[in-house]
């Protein structure tokens, strides 16, 4: 049985490499990314890698891409709009346990909804903290710490993230 499984996985890896020129974890070979999004009731055309950690109430709009190794913490309510690109390793949070830990378990975890607008790009390994709202057509740079709201149409990056410019309108 193990030999058959290994043989099957080798074949799936080879097919995936030929078709997409990439190698992915076993879960992504066996599960359809569009099917995962449909199972959560997310919008048409949205995809989500198998290794994404999804907690609580997460709502995602249409045609969004949730990359590998992402954390979507909806324990305080998380909304992501249409046509968003959430890059590899991004963490989007709606709770933290700072007061719980420092009170030796006496305080409850803090929770606050987080909202990501439509047409938003979040670069690899960015962290979006609880309670943040990011406006439409906004770019968040790689490895940024987003600990405050950002309006629509801006480019922001850094630790903590700060506005660095405006997003240019893209021609079709």
Q: Exposed, middle or buried by CB within 10 Å (0-12, 13-18, 19+), for 108? A: exposed
Annotated active-site residue in 13, 63, 95, 96: 96
96 in active site:
yes
Identify the residue with better confidence: 81 or 5: 81
**Residue that has been written with the tokens 């850094």 in this structure:** 158
**Which of 15-29, 63-77, 79-93 has the least mean pLDDT?**
15-29
- Confidence class of residue 172 from pLDDT cuts 50, 70 and 90? low
**Residue 131 DSSP code:** T
Tell me the pLDDT tens digit for each residue of 101-129.
Answer: 999 999 999 999 999 999 999 999 999 99
Q: Which domains does the chain have, with CATH numbers?
A: 1-30 (no CATH), 32-163 (2.160.10.10)
Identify the residue with better confidence: 19 or 72: 72
What is the Cα–Cα distance from 93 to 78, expressed in whole angstroms? 8
Mean predicted confidence (pLDDT) in 16-25: 85
Residue 99 above 70 pLDDT? yes
Tell me the pLDDT tens digit for each residue of 21-50.
Answer: 978 888 887 788 899 999 999 999 999 999
**What pLDDT does residue 136 have?**
98
pLDDT above 90 covers a percentage of the chain that reads 81
- Confidence class of residue 133 from pLDDT cuts 50, 70 and 90? very high
Cβ–Cβ < 8 Å for 50, 25: yes
Residue 95 above 60 pLDDT? yes
The reported pTM is 0.89
Cβ–Cβ < 8 Å for 131, 92: no
Cβ–Cβ < 8 Å for 148, 130: no
């Amino acid at each position: 049985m193990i030999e058959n499984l290994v043989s099957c996985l080798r074949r799936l890896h080879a097919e995936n490499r030929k078709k997409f020129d990439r190698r992915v974890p076993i879960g992504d070979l066996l599960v359809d990314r569009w099917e995962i999004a449909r199972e959560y009731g997310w919008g048409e055309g949205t995809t989500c890698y198998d290794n994404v950690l999804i907690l609580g109430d997460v709502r995602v709009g249409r045609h969004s891409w949730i990359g590998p190794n992402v954390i979507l913490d909806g324990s305080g309510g998380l909304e992501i709009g249409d046509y968003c690109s959430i890059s590899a390793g991004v963490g989007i949070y709606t709770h933290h346990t700072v007061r719980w830990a420092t009170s030796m378990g006496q305080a409850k975890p803090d929770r606050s909804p987080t909202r990501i607008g439509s047409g938003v790009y979040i670069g690899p390994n960015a962290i979006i903290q609880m309670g943040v709202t990011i406006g439409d057509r906004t770019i968040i740079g790689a490895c940024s710490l987003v600990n405050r709201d950002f309006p629509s149409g801006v480019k922001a990056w850094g630790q903590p993230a700060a506005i660095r410019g405006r997003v240019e309108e893209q021609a079709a």
